[in-house]
Chain A
Amino acid sequence: MTMTIKNLDRRQFVKGAASAAAVSTLPLSTVELAFADPAKNFSFAYISDSHIQHIKGAEFVRNWDRGLIRAVAETNMLRPKPDFVMFGGDLAQLGTKAELDHGAEMLAKLDFKTHCLLGEHDYYLDLGEYWSELFGPHWYSFDHKGVHFVVLNSILTYDEWTFERWPTPEQRMLEMAGLDNPNGSPFMVGEKQRAWLAKDLEGVAKDTPVVVFSHSPIQKIFKGWNFWTEDAEQVQALLQPFDTATVIYGHVHQIQYNQIGNISFHAVMATAWPWPYPHSYAQAESHLPKLTVPMNRADPFFERDATGWQLVNLDSGRVAMKYKLYDNSDRTVAYNPVTGRPEDTVYQDPESRISPQIHY
């Protein structure tokens, strides 16, 4: 993480082709500093979607445990140290105390202040009650070195679905955990929280960088998997007046980025498992905008490949998202001031991409 360019040049010759690619992604900030005072430059780590899953007794799914353990261990070694860590939701798989406790225990090993947000897997068993005991309020905001951070609970849905439809909380949880589930329901921030957000943003100067953390994308990508927030447009409308707004979301377990007006969007990886880019699954045309470079192909031998965590650099007030991808080449997605949108700093050019395997 802290290698200087000098080191890269010196060491590049002993590296294989794969690691050479990783090296070239190292510069974290590709835009000029927007802050007058360089002391305000900072970075934070972002870990998400660990899906800690209880089997029975003291047994948890080993694979998901390993993903979170590794993210925590690596984050603790970051140089320079991150100012804080954000955990992006879905700590648990089915929202049980056992899962949340086990996950909280692993997160407690982080050496840094850690903020958390709710994913649907944490929420729909007891509607976030036990999660709240461990991690605090469901939505909140805080300021850090000139940036206004907002944490949303974006995985709420219609009251009728949540409170009236299901005979048991367990069934409610399972229904929301399913993909392509006709019994599911779209995520939303909801009127009450939007009103709170409007009020929260009232006092924030329009030239203050605003960064929103949510679990679901605050944009509409693919409804069948809830890569979707039903009231995305209303939330976006509250953010558009700001010169620099960024939404960082989990849930999709893959690299995505997009620009809508003044708002940059970045997805983060899961530590648990990868989801494929949905258009590779949808047989019919999907409504997915062309907003990402597909992920590098994962090697199935490595169960952590195509998962990872992020180091977010905010030196410029814009997000430069460095994806730390286990057993793969790291990637960086940063705002490109020329095109006015986030772009992959290495793979954006189709010529630079790693070709998919075409024989088996």
Chain B
Amino acid sequence: MRRFLFAALLGAGLVAAAWAVVGSAALAADPPLGLPPVPIPENNPMTPEKITLGEKLYNEKRFSTTGDVGCVTCHDPKKAFTDSPLRVSEGIEKKTGTRNSPTTINAVYMTSQFWDGRSPDLEDQALHPFVNPVEHGLASHEPILEIVRTDPEYVRAFDEVFGTTGEDITIREVTLAIAAFERTIVSGNSPFDRWYYGGEEDALTEQQKRGFELFINEGRCVSCHVIEQTQALFTDNRFHNIGVGINDIQDQVPELAGEFLDADLTLSEVDVEVLTDPRTSELGRFAISHGFGDLGSFKTPTLRNVALTAPYMHDGSIETLEEVVIHYMNGGVTEVGDPVNDFLSSGIRPLDIETEDIEALVAFMEALTSPEIAAQVEAAESE
């Protein structure tokens, strides 16, 4: 018994999948079970050398004022490419931002980056944390360029990958390489995939199968965490106010939103503002789009490997998957009886599910862990 679900076509705006066969083990000719081909933009073709350079840049900690923060700090392969169990990310000098680190895994499939989608692609995304005061803390990208233009290993690698040296190396090449590496961080082939797409009847437990039924029916999860006929990214790439974060600043929303509109910030200023001012952060996608419908809304994250990345939600305010399900059960409030946000997505409403359903839904989400990611996390934990 297999239920096929239709959903909107994903990947609008991306170049038609130009699947590139490269040397990296992570980038096989066929995507893992349950995933579509990785979309590769025409202006950033994949090469093994570029991926290797990107990985080095991703792990580089000198690109920060203190020399101890890199991309890897908050998107750590040992923690399923997050910084779990931190609630919100820590940058230089243990400065904290306002948002829970989203995983790099399958970020390549997202049609926008960051929780509020303020960045259109991986290349652009990589620009901003370097110069955010609570992340890498740099005043500009210059210190990065100084390193890559002079460090012999980088000089050699940039010459090999881009054919550029010295002043010709810009931050553009740096982000192209990082994005190329990130396009190799994909994960599917979970027990769910083996059951749903692979036809392995016993890949899921009965409880997990029950959880799947709830996921696509009474739980209403699948409407945003999309599962399709041949692939499942578990995101609709859209933004929703699900009653998290904004519930804490309800009375201040008109004032905050008004101030924000009046300030008329550039996107770079928004980047700083939303990560340094917790109240502004809660405006969510509104800070980018200025649309009332986006007040308090954040991008639907993937659910793949979600069992490894607690705590949850854009602000890390919910500690367990059980509590996440209860939040939805209550119709977008974490505690029953709390006031419902005026701008709550109209897709969120109280669910008619039972206590054992919560356990089944959590069991289903645990079936979304990819074995290679689980192994990586386990190996790190036993170190």
Contact = CB atoms under 8 A, between A and B. Distances in A.
A115 interface: no
B290 A3 contact: yes
Contacts of A73: 253-254, 342-343
A24 to B, nearest CB: 13
B291 A70 contact: no
Candidate in A11, A13, A305 with the most chain B CB atoms within 10 angstroms: A11
B346 A77 contact: no
Nearest to A22: B291
Contacts of B120: 13-14
Contacts of B237: 16
Interface string B328-362: 00000000000010111111011000000000000
Interface residues on A, range: 35 or more
A283 to B, nearest CB: 28
A77 B257 contact: yes
A23 to B, nearest CB: 9
B372 to A, nearest CB: 31
Contact of B292 (A19, A63, A74, A360): A74
A64 to B, nearest CB: 12
Contacts of A62: 349-350
A79 B264 contact: no
B12 A16 contact: yes
B254 A76 contact: yes
Given A77-B292, A327-B293, A301 B347 contact: yes
A301 B223 contact: yes
Given A14-B118, A77-B254, A301-B223, A69 B342 contact: yes
A301 B343 contact: no
A142 interface: no
B220 A301 contact: yes
B118 A326 contact: no
- Interface on chain A toward B: helix, strand, loop, or mixed SS? loop
A13 B349 CA distance: 32
B291 A19 contact: yes
Contact of A14 (B112, B342, B346): B112
B293 A66 contact: no
Interface residues on B, range: 35 or more
A7 interface: yes
Contacts of B288: 11, 14
B289 interface: yes
B26 interface: no
Interface in A312-360: 324, 326-327, 359-360
B280 to A, nearest CB: 15
A7 B118 CA distance: 14
Interface in B21-58: none
A165 interface: no
B342 A327 contact: no
B345 A327 contact: yes
Interface in B2-22: 6, 12-13
B101 interface: no
Contact of A326 (B112, B293, B340): B293
Interface string A262-291: 000000000000000000000000000000
Interface in B109-157: 111-112, 117-120
Given A14-B120, A19-B291, A79-B261, A70 B342 contact: yes
A10 B13 CA distance: 18
Contacts of B347: 301-303, 327
A15 interface: yes
B375 interface: no
Nearest to B255: A77
Contact of B6 (A7, A63, A77, A359): A359
A172 interface: no
Contacts of B119: 14
Contacts of B290: 1-3, 7, 11
A17 interface: yes
A17 B223 CA distance: 19
Interface in A214-251: none
B292 A79 contact: no
Given A16-B238, A19-B289, A22-B291, 10 more contacts: A3-B261, A11-B290, A13-B120, A15-B289, A16-B111, A66-B346, A70-B343, A302-B347, A303-B346, A326-B346
By Cβ-Cβ distance, the 5 closest A-B pairs, closest first, are A304-B346, A73-B342, A301-B223, A74-B292, A302-B346
29 contacts: A1-B261, A2-B261, A3-B290, A7-B264, A7-B290, A10-B266, A11-B288, A13-B120, A14-B117, A14-B119, A17-B13, A19-B291, A22-B291, A62-B349, A70-B342, A70-B343, A72-B342, A73-B254, A73-B342, A73-B343, A74-B292, A77-B257, A79-B262, A301-B223, A301-B347, A303-B347, A305-B346, A327-B345, A360-B6
Interface of A: 1-4, 7, 10-11, 13-17, 19, 22, 62-63, 66, 69-70, 72-74, 76-77, 79, 301-305, 324, 326-327, 359-360
Interface of B: 6, 12-13, 111-112, 117-120, 220, 223, 237-238, 253-254, 257-258, 261-262, 264, 266-267, 288-293, 340, 342-347, 349-350
